[in-house]
Amino acid sequence: NAGVTQTPKFQVLKTGQSMTLQCAQDMNHEYMSWYRQDPGMGLRLIHYSVGAGITDQGEVPNGYNVSRSTTEDFPLRLLSAAPSQTSVYFCASSYAVSGDQETQYFGPGTRLLVL
């Protein structure tokens, strides 16, 4: 199993540009989520999905869109990049949201710099 994969590893954008951060998992996990991590702050939840076709907002959803057309993929779209979106983005997945199978597995992260 490759686990959770994210692409690209690093990206530089200009203000106003759009892009999609890719996330895929091969563990047949139902629950997937996107976080951003900024210095001195904990991981903050952007959007999450409890299964294909179902998405919901987390703590900091503004400026980001998601969709979940398959169990495996959960892309994060930046519609019009802003310097405040400079961060490290992590995708995570788990089989469930409770019980023994709620352990979240994280991807390696995407480092985004918006100029």
Binding letters toward other proteins, positions 68-97, x by CB under 8 A:
----------------------x-x----x
DSSP 3-state of 12? strand
31 binds other proteins (CB under 8 A): yes
C-alpha to C-alpha distance for 68 and 81, rounded to whole angstroms: 21
Cβ of residue 80: shortest distance to other proteins, in angstroms? 26
CA distances (Å), origin 81, targets 14, 63, 78, 103: 7, 8, 6, 31
Q: Which of 13, 23, 34, 48 binds other proteins (CB under 8 A)?
A: 48
